[in-house]
A and B are shown apart, each in its own frame.
Chain A
């Protein structure tokens, strides 16, 4: 595989990873925290509903996991495609 092909494959794998992360990012904050909150109102969490929990706490926790997950996955991709430093 030439360098150019390898770096194309690396880049599309990166883009795929980003799309998955962005989808989760949007789902927990804009989705569960804002848009779907009325749908989740039946699920109660400590005196309020699941949507409130996602808006004030849950989404932040998911964001942290997302960044470290992305960093881990990219380190692996870097090595697989031989583009690490």
Chain B
């Protein structure tokens, strides 16, 4: 699995202007930061209460939230990484990106509406709704914070290397800039500022990628068939068909499950459903997000093949052995250095928005789940809670920078897969069972989440991904590259067995009255 190949960037031997200061990209980047900080200033005035800080006052429309969800999900790694994968490995890149999309319909069918109706700020609200607060909040926080941390490390390390290549900026400075700017969004503007940063970033990324595809297709008389023909003539028909990406079906299914069901367990994605007024708007936002994300992956597919046909595989690989610079080289090839500057600054904006979303969801886990429901046992005034949320934001901002510096030059590509595996194994099973299964108990939920998180962590360490590729051992103890097929199944099984072994009458009784809220939205947070 090789999502975040951004780390293998090698700027030496530059044939293009990549890695040197590009005035257009610096200008656009400063414009982006200026506009988003102004929005943060505007949002800060509207962010006083808890519901405003965590959920933008639940006033975001379904369409806006759909764009923001897309913004949260489309990372620089998927833009540059997947285009790069298509440009170097051909069709296999598409298989990977499809996996990231197909989780969205499942969010719609299984969790979006009940989540909006039952919860307040975090997905743990839903799991703990009729179970005992403290044990659930502690276990759910472990799953959330692990998911967020691994995702954050991958993003920060990717950001440092990417910005170094794009702007010729020092790695450490890049990491600190990203950390400081995103902390300001979250700290002062809360969810409202973060949402608008996501929306602006999504629009920039989608329009930038669309322009890139149009400029590239113009060279093929706007005919995708001519583009594919050119790839076929230069590199052979095999480039347009599945290659070596999937050989072991268990590996393929395990990765597929992680991508599909992990999406429905990502805390920063789930949190966004509280920003809309009701379950109907939540529904609409998933549809809009699915549309934009799907469109985006169609674009990356064409970007990858156009880069392969126009820039050439050797030129792409000479700049970066992961192929991550394919989209940028194509931008320079088709639109000159000004367009390259535009696309580069869009990639930078993308990173900022994604880390801001992650930090906000981490801060709400610490303040809402741990501080209010564990330390204060559910009794806390709003002022105290927001104060803790803001301190947690600063703490996470510093932590993100520290982790980015600590993992510099390390191979952290497996961490995105690990984050999805924990989300699919620890967060998703407990969330789903708490919504649909009457007999689910507190103990069952706790053991389900702990099993999912611990198994994901342990199995990935002894899998070929870490045991062989990073630790340098000959043979892996666990044969699969991604543990989800085992860790998620185990989490479900443990949750069911523990719940059946010792029934919890109070929780089962509450299940019936909870239904008014789950299905009719009666008594949901307004």
A binds B: no
